[in-house]
Structure 1
Amino acid sequence: MAVEKKNQTTHMRPGQSRGQTTLSTGAPPPAPKPRPRPTAIPAPPIPSSTQSSDSERSKEGTGKILALINPSSGRAPWMPVAIAEAKLRGGETELTLQDKINYHIAIDDGFKSLYGATNAWCAAFVNWCLFQAKYPIDNTTFFDRRYAKARAHGFYEVRGPREKSEKSAPLVRNPLFVELDKPIYGAIAMVTSRSHHGFHVGFVYAKSGAKELILLGGNQNQRINFSPFSIALSAPYTERDESGKTKKRNGSRSYLRYFIPISYYERAKKDLSNDGLEEMNSDKLNHQMGIKNEKPKNSATSIT
């Protein structure tokens, strides 16, 4: 059977016609990483702050966990929003958190609940933080504009405008975001499976050893917290902890890809050229910021 055009990924920017395929911010952004042509992703049915001033930065500059990174002016403006929200919620689980704030409803992505295996809210939290920082999150003319905001993979691919001659809307690169070749502070990190599909997102906060990054995100143990994620696909390996003891690690079945809002690209280039992520420990970060992070009794997880 012939492959339909709907399975092809097109690169578009706001106000760009189908024939044009280059994102532009005044300077060309990095080319997206090569990946296999995606299969069609059906759009499933839609189910019926303030900035923190508590800086605990190390006066010596080394050797101590930093509970809050103080970014320079204009650096990742959504991060103070995410950090303040994490501290405010204190590790409260989604079942009770949704009575105080529901990120799905706040960004109008079509979902009504944070709780449950089919209501993943990691992407909703990231989009909520971006929206609070005045960054656009909605491709208003696109086919699945609402549901795309609830999908982790939506930072990379979405269903674009549908032509009259097409049976379904094609997959296109999300024109609101640019992919980076390496992580920077505040980048949107998409946890990606071996099949190249994103199933979780959070903000890059720090590094944890050579193989992991610490992401600040929602729906991590059903909470907003700091959690480590593997940078790349890997086989089982061993490493030493802070006390010098050897630990066996299972390796990773996923890897990270990095995105930033297209309007932030010029600022991001400064970090790409001269920025290094700080070394931190996710457990200590959660503790110092008052975030409870024990595994919930109902540990059902959801992916997008």
Structure 2
Amino acid sequence: MTTYISAVFHKDIRTVEFTAANGDKMLRTGGTLAWLLNNPGNLRPGGKYVSMIGQADTASGKFAIFSSVEEGRKEKRALLRRKYNDMTLYNAMHTYAPEGENDTAKYLAFVRKKSGATDQTVIKDMTDEQFNGMVAAMEQYEGFNANADTRKEKIVHATQVSLSDGAKPLPSFPVVAKTSTGKEKKLTTNAYGVLPAFITSKPGEMVQLFAEEAGKVGTKIGEFVLDQASASLLFARPLVTALAGSQPHNPDGGPRDAKRAPIRYVIQPKDTLGTVASKFKTSVDELVSNNRIRDRNKVFPGEVIWIYGPAPQGSTSGAAANDAASAAAKNSYAIKRGDTLSGIADRHGVSVDQLMAANPAIKDRNKISPGQSINLPTGAKKAEPASTAVTKPKTGQPPASSKPSGPAPSLVKPPPVAPPKQPAVKPPAAVDTRPVRSAENQAHPIALVPYSQQRAPWIEHAYAQAKKWSGKKEGVITKTINFHEEIGYGKQFKTMAGGDNAWCASFVNYCMRKAGYPISSPHPYRARSFAADTTNYVQIDAPVFGAIALVKTSHVGFVYALDGSSPILLGGNQSDQINFVKYNPASLRYYVPKAYLAFANKELKDPKLDATHAKTLNDALGIVVVTKASGNER
């Protein structure tokens, strides 16, 4: 049986578009609204409906869409038990179908006759025959099976294409698609690097994808054939654009001081302050001072430090990003091949930090793409030539493709998806100065290319939460943040506290979304959703830093380090905390986002996992882990 993982209701044409786990689409029209939505109880969103895969905004209000009619019936039964169990049939029907909206007396008489119950029969005291009769009568009275002759369902095959740089999705990336039948269309990826679905209308039709560069057809990305089966493809485009600004050549008066804006850096596995200082041509003492580090011998992967100065004021504030974006001028600039942010900044008389602040959607200053449009800050002057060094994009070879990636866009043109909000970096009030370095003392300055950080960017968010809560229990955490709510399931799970509200998967998906990756589907609050979601996630053979580790089918966390041969997971809902726990490798399976697969495959050759102990990691953040009575730390 086909499993549908998402659904969209198109009100204007009264059609529901269901998307299956294999990428197939089903277009359903006609029938009653209850049939159309797999919702025999006409349930409205907002309840604890774990199998709801969408919602329909109709002329009669909003209603839940379920993955199948069987799931819809289960949810109705659960609702009756949850909300009406202690009521008499009379009171239950007057609450479920209140007078003024229904002919309650007629409805009650119909249910009473079909179920064999009396007005005073309490729902929880009904026999199975009475309860089932009541449910069937309500479905019949609601008209689920009416207009059966108008029901229509159509299965269509779609190819979903996602673009990645090998480690991260390429959002808002302009593409030109050309078909073997002579059609040409300009497309743009969504926030997760996914293009609108390609529908198979002529099996065997070839589609070629090209990057749109300065409004024209540019480098070829790849090609594929539209088949009589749905597919999901990932093209890893090897685009590398690195910033490397420099001072003028042959400066008068010999070497002089150059101001360096602070750089945000996330500690990686195997890092020490010494290796970081060496990499960025600074000193350990300066790193310790700028970041107020208590123990220079202890830094941990996922920690954020600043190089060449302390953190700029408001650098991690979401509000700062929004303010910066709204303050940006209407002037814009189209990225050209060979451009870097530093070069653009120089030509317009602004700093890279000002450009980043005006473009909060740009998370990595080292990655911009030809054809991309950026805002120029207020006060930017007319472009002037500048001296910058550039690492050119790698071109000439079509990128490898793999199956599959990303959430499937709608067949009916969807509303634009806003890219995830990113923190802006405000220009610092003051920065450190240091001498300009030159090649062999010839007054030709070196252009230093900043270190590119592609490794598991979601760990930064997981570590920040572990540090913030420092061992606090879920009952405390949920008063400030509910990870279920953060991924869109706050109505189903109003708290993280308690045995019925397991939040390990919601915590993992929260971190993935913060880093710009799609969350698992169809049920992102379930640990096993990462194994079930073959569209967005893929299994790998061994642990790498940041891999999502599924513990059997009931728990999930991030691979962070090794204790001997046992992975240490950083995760939520571990002893009701966010902490570090060692697990038996025999119980683990490992997954990464499809967009990250190329990078993960490189990591498998050298996993770069620190050797340590869970207690050491917990102690560093002041986390005291209390093992549960069963001996289980989850």
TM-score, length of structure 2 as denominator length: 0.32
Structure 2 counterpart of 1:127: 509
2:600 is aligned to: 268
Structure 2 gap ranges (5+): 4-19, 24-158, 161-196, 200-226, 237-263, 276-295, 304-451
Amino acid at match of 1:292: V
Q: Which has the larger radius of gyration?
A: 2
SS at 1:117 equivalent: coil
Q: Which residue matches 1:113?
A: 495
Contact 2:547 2:590 in 1 (8 A): yes
**How far apart are residue 25 of structure 1 and its match?**
2.2
Mapping 1:171-190, distance limit 5 Å: 173-190=533-550
**Contact 2:568/2:581 (CA < 8 Å) preserved in 1?**
yes
Spell out, residue by residue over 1:259-299, the C-alpha distance to the aligned partner (whole angstroms, 9 max, x if none).
11111122222212233322110011100122222236899
1:220 to 2:220 alignment: no
Say which structure, 1 or 2, has more relative contact order (CA 8 Å, 6+ apart): 1
- Structure 1 residue matching 2:538: 3-state secondary structure: strand
Distance 1:262 1:5 in 2: 22
Q: Which moved more, 1:284-293 or 1:218-227?
A: 284-293
Contact residue 102 and residue 113 of structure 1 kept, 8 A: yes
Alignment-mate amino acid for residue 96 of structure 1:
V
**Partner SS, residue 610 of structure 2:** coil
Equivalent of residue 231 in structure 1, options 567, 585, 607:
585
**2:549 maps to amino acid:** A
Query: What whole-Å deviation, never above 9, does each CA across 1:39-77 have from its counterpart, x for those lacking one?
Result: xxxxxxxxxxxx99789954688xx99651269611111
> Could you tell me how far apart the structure 2 residues matched to 1:202 and 1:135 are?
16
The equivalent of 2:463 in structure 1 is 83
Between the aligned residues of both structures, percent identity stands at: 34
Q: Which residue of 2 aligns with 1:204?
A: 559
CA contact (8 A) 2:558 2:570 kept: yes
CA distance 1:77–1:108, shift in 2 (3 Å): same
Question: Residues 94 and 138 from structure 1, CA distance in 2 versus in 1: closer, same or farther, beyond 3 angstroms?
Answer: same
Query: Unpaired runs of 5+ in structure 1?
Result: 28-50, 140-144, 158-172, 193-197, 233-254
Report the CA distance shift for 1:54/1:204 in structure 2 as closer, same or farther (over 3 A): closer
Structure 1 residue 108: deviation in Å?
1.2
> Equivalent residue for 2:551?
191
Q: Which amino acid is 1:180 matched to? A: I
Question: Which one has a larger percent helix, Structure 1 or Structure 2?
Answer: 2
When the two structures are aligned, how many residues end up with a matched partner? 223
Shift of 1:10: 6.3
1:154 to 529, 534, 539: 529
Task: Find the partner of 1:281 among 588, 613, 616.
Answer: 613
1:25 maps to 234
For the residue of structure 2 that corresponds to 1:77, the secondary structure is: coil
Contact 2:273 2:299 survives alignment (8 Å): no
Taking structure 1 as the reference length, what is the TM-score of the superposition? 0.63
Separation of aligned partners in 1, 2:603 and 2:632: 37
Equivalent residues of 1:52, 1:83 under 8 A apart:
no
Q: 1:295 to 1:60 in 2, by over 3 A?
A: same
- 2:234 corresponds to which letter in structure 1? T
- Contact 1:179–1:259 at 8 Å: present in 2 too? yes
Distance in 2 (alpha carbons) for counterparts of 1:90 and 1:102: 16
- The letter for the 1-side match of 2:493 is F
1:95 CA displacement: 1.0
Q: Quick one: structure 1 residues 256 and 273, their matched pair in 2 at CA, closer, same or farther if it must change by over 3 Å?
A: same
